[in-house]
Amino acid sequence: MTPVARRGFFFVPKPALLSQSSQLTSQNRNSHVQACLAMMLIDLKAELAKLTTFRDRKPTSTRAERQGSSSQLAPYRDATIFANKSAGRGAWERHADGDELVHVLDGAATLQIATEGGLQSFDVRAGMLAIVPKGVWHRFHYPDGVTLMTVTPGQSDYIRIDTDDPLSAEPQRD
């Protein structure tokens, strides 16, 4: 299966077209490419090398202060793939449109979630995945630094004040 490069994306032939791929002519090549699946390749190592670790992150840190420590890598279904390098403590956040997938690429952190039953903390480290359920308030504490890749659905709500109780605070949208 040979990918066809076009406009920065790679197109991989659909399985039904593989047997016909050797019979392509210049006249039917365009229709063949249109009948292919678009595939995006991301060099994660290169993308992470572009990021700097934001030290002393706080829930009140501004977007301007965080600049250069995170990157929007690509859209994925109804979500966005992000990469982030930080040390400190993040803001509380929740995602009303779906579960968030968090992959810890490097370092370690404590993932806190807040429910009506109280706070729960989970230690996570490089190589672990966490799936944060839809609508659940959560934040990370990473005093020594962490590199995360997330698949974050739709819009997010944030609590940009330093509080241990996000359920009593007024959320903001970014």
- Assess whether 21 and 86 both reside in one domain: no
Q: Let me know: does 105 contact 130? Beta carbons within 8 Å.
A: no
Q: Are residues 35 and 119 in the same domain?
A: no
State the Cα–Cα distance between residues 2 and 13, nearest whole angstrom: 8
For the chain, the domain total comes to: 2
Residues 106, 155, single domain; the answer is: yes
* Residues 12 and 90 grouped into a single domain: no
- 81 and 29 fall within a common domain: no
Alpha helices in the chain (DSSP H): 15-18, 29-34, 44-49, 63-66
Same domain, 108 and 142: yes
Its pTM stands at 0.77
29 lies in the same domain as 115: no
CATH code (residue 142): 2.60.120.10
Based on the fold, state whether residues 86 and 11 are members of the same structural domain: no
Residues 55 and 107 in one domain: yes
One domain, residues 48 and 35: no
Q: What is the pLDDT along the chain (174 residues), one digit of tens a residue?
A: 455 443 234 555 555 444 444 444 445 444 444 455 677 889 999 999 999 999 999 999 999 999 999 999 999 999 999 999 999 999 999 999 999 999 999 999 999 999 989 999 999 999 999 999 999 999 999 999 999 999 999 999 999 999 999 998 989 886
Q: 129 near 102, Cβ under 8 Å?
A: yes
Q: Are residues 30 and 53 in the same domain?
A: no
**Domain match, 18 and 92 both:** no
| Containing structural domain, residue 13 | 4-39
Contacts of 145 (CB under 8 A, 6+ apart): 53, 55, 85, 86, 87, 107
Q: Region of 23 please: left (phi>0), alpha (psi -120 to 50) or beta.
A: alpha
